[in-house]
């Protein structure tokens, strides 16, 4: 059973529908106790990290989430769900995140010809440590992005994919049983569905 954490940060239904579309057993968790029997956990989200962390904390989700990850249960972060894994974010001032992967979330700097937020299709270049969730997906395939802030991951060993938008930034990470992507697989057509299928098979 795949458990999707619903902490009020949007796009829950589209992620749920995508998993259902490919035949996965999935449920939406609106309370922390719903994570007790989770086999796999998905943390989606759009919006700002400070508010998202407050909602996770207020809902009591952080402790059971960290416990499940420590037990080795597969975890997938999507968009904001990737950014929350890092040490801190500078969105609306500096604020602490989950610190599961050392790094910082920063706003895209001004760049001629590039709009912020980045909205639309862009490619992902896999690193030498490409995540198993990319199995069967061609290198430099296109995925759908919507974000104004990017992940600056300190240790390259955890970088599974990079995307160029004025410069190369980390768009996918892999650390033990932790997998996360900056783009939206639920909105990325067949390539995105392959990633969700691969996660379900872990």
DSSP state of 26: E
Identified catalytic residue from 91, 104, 147, 184: 184
CB neighbours of residue 140 within 10 Å:
12
Query: Among this protein's residues, is 79 annotated catalytic?
Result: yes
CB 115 within 8 A of CB 108: no
Identified catalytic residue from 79, 97, 151, 174: 79
* Bond preceding residue 117 cis, omega within 30 of 0: yes
CB 40 within 8 A of CB 75: yes
Q: What angle do CA 94, 70, 73 make, to 5 degrees?
A: 110
Identified catalytic residue from 91, 104, 162, 186: 186
What is the Cα 197 distance to its own chain's centre?
15
Query: Among this protein's residues, is 24 annotated catalytic?
Result: no
CB 50 within 8 A of CB 93: yes
Sign of the C-alpha dihedral, residues 111, 117, 118, 120?
negative
User: Which residues are part of the catalytic machinery?
Assistant: 79, 184, 186
């Amino acid at each position: 059973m795949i458990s999707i954490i619903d902490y009020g940060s949007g796009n829950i239904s589209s992620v749920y529908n995508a998993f259902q579309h490919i035949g996965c057993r999935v449920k939406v968790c609106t309370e922390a106790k719903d994570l007790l029997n989770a086999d796999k956990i998905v943390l989606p989200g759009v919006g700002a990290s400070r508010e998202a962390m407050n909602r996770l904390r207020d809902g009591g989700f952080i402790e059971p989430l960290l416990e499940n990850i420590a037990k080795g249960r597969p975890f997938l972060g999507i968009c904001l769900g990737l950014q929350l894994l890092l040490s801190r974010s500078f969105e609306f001032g500096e604020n602490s995140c989950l610190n599961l992967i050392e790094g910082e979330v920063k706003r895209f700097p001004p760049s001629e010809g590039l709009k912020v937020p980045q909205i639309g299709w862009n490619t992902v270049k896999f690193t030498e440590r490409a995540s198993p969730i990319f199995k069967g997906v061609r290198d430099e395939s296109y995925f759908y992005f919507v974000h104004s802030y990017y992940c600056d991951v300190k240790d390259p060993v955890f970088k599974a994919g990079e995307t160029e938008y004025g410069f190369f930034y980390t768009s996918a990470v892999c650390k033990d049983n932790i997998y996360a992507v900056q783009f939206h697989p639920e909105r990325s057509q067949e390539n995105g569905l392959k990633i969700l299928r691969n996660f379900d098979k872990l």
